[in-house]
Amino acid sequence: MTTNTRDQGKVSAPKAKVFISYSRKDMAFADRLDVALKARGFETLIDRTDIYAFEEWWKRVQVLIGQADTIVFVLSPDAVRPETVALKEVAYAASLNKSFAPIVFRSVDDKSVPEPLAKLNFIFFDDASRFDASADKLAEALRSDIGWIRRHTEFGEAARRWIDAGRAGGLLLHPPVLDQSEAWMAFRPSGAPSPSGETEAFIAASRKAEMASRRRSRILNVALYTMLVGIILGLVGWIKQDYLIAQWRWWRTDRPFLAANIWPYVLTPAAEQALKPDPNQSFRECAPKQQDKDYCPDMVVVPAGSFMMGSPATEQGHTKAEEPLHQVTIAKPFAVSKYELTFDEWDTCVDYGDCPQGISESGFGRGQQPVINVTWDDAQRYVAWLSKMTGKTYRLLSEAENEYATRAGTTTAYPWGNDIGKNNANCNGCGSKWDKRRVLEGKQTLLQSPQHRRVLPNLPR
């Protein structure tokens, strides 16, 4: 089964936001640091350039600090003098449990360093000749656990809006974001700042409201179900019960548990950029196997490149549908499932309530066997569910992407040559021990690769 989907453009990951807190007497150094961090891929927030004319000064500073993922504090004797603006900024950021990155521009007395900073490791910029090396070290530190830190900023800002609006119920979190927020708190990296009390209260209030909403929905649905039982019994031959079944599975599914096994493992932008088009380097945006089950597909990277799509008229088995032979260019790398989707992976979506139940394995077995007997619409539901759970864009392969990935640089009818041969593949008439006996032995391997977009292979019929 193939789909002619249009290639989706690469979506740039949001830049990490850094607020620079400094003394006005260190402005020249702050300017240089601002330029250096921007050159290394960060978005800088600095009260000199980012506060608009006639805007209330301190209120705007609070907004910038709230939006920042990390506060870079430039230590100098002037910055730590009592009653300075810089110390006021540190105190406000600490009240939000923000992540700090203190750097030393000019030496200061240890006793004068603010308490939220004193317990942290410093990066030294006191040697102007080593500025670039120090900036590289700072950039590396700022990228550490940035995925978790960015969520800290996101949920913290949502909590502030909720509180400023008088704890309005309409601003509370709902699944799947609520499930992700709870998993985020449970999997805090070592050394990362704790969620603020406001954030914890916000998430707890969201879960309480969600549970109350579910109870009301259950009561209403049970009442409606009871009222309609007599009608259903009389019309059971032609009234579908899919909706009621889906609702029941939705109620009984342990949604926070599954979210906790997916969200912490979703790749950060830095981890994605580090992936290489190596068939031995794969990634899975969920927890490792548990109870011999996979929760999501194993993905690998396919590089950008060109290939001749179709087949020449002289190739054995050639059909008119494979004409004309033409060059296709895959402009950007992409991630693709290393194997065909298994029943274990499919059934995870079924257990969650987003994929249809009752898909038959036709007697070939489930578990690690490839999922079969699914339609194109079924496959679309699976990739939509995986996209929702990970927050990333998953889709089916296009026809060109499928041929490019499976060819893996070869130009022959089969990866090993122009003849099917014996025991080169598990298929009917291929000379393997599984001919006409089962779907596949193990999993069928594909090449693949990412860059902020992911595709899944064609699901077998």
Residue of 391, 362, 400, 394 whose CA lies nearest to 379: 394
Regarding pTM above 0.85, the answer is no
Locate 285 and state its tokens.
């945006």
Helix 177-186 and helix 197-235, axial crossing angle in degrees, nearest 10: 140
Contact 284, 299 (CB under 8 A): yes
CATH class of segment(s) 17-144: alpha beta
At 59, is the secondary structure helix, strand, or coil? Answer: helix
103-134 burial code (b ≥16 CB/10 A, e <16): bbbbebeeeebbebbeeeebbebeeeeeeeeb
CA distance 319 to 423: 25
Residue 177 CA to residue 352 CA, distance in Å, equals: 15
Tens digit of pLDDT per residue, the chain (461 long)?
A: 333 333 443 434 568 899 999 998 999 999 999 999 999 999 998 876 445 545 578 888 888 989 888 999 999 999 999 888 889 999 998 899 888 999 999 999 988 999 888 888 899 999 999 999 999 999 988 887 777 777 888 888 888 888 888 888 888 888 888 888 877 777 777 777 888 888 888 888 888 888 888 777 777 776 676 666 555 554 544 444 444 443 443 334 444 445 556 666 777 878 888 888 887 888 888 776 655 565 688 889 999 999 999 888 888 888 888 888 899 898 988 889 888 888 888 888 888 888 999 888 888 788 888 888 999 889 999 988 888 877 788 888 888 888 898 888 888 888 888 888 888 877 777 887 777 666 554 333 332 233 334 555 443 32
Longest dimension (CA), the chain: 86
Phi, psi of 379 (to 5 degrees): -60, -40
Q: What's the CA gap between 61 and 83, in Å, rounded?
A: 16
Rounded to the nearest 10 degrees, the angle between the axes of helix 57-67 and helix 85-95 is 50
Structure tokens at 162: 């909720």
Whole-angstrom CA distances from 168 to 95, 103, 379 are 22, 39, 38
- Predicted confidence (pLDDT) per residue in 78-120, tens digit: 999 988 888 999 999 889 988 899 999 999 998 899 988 888 8
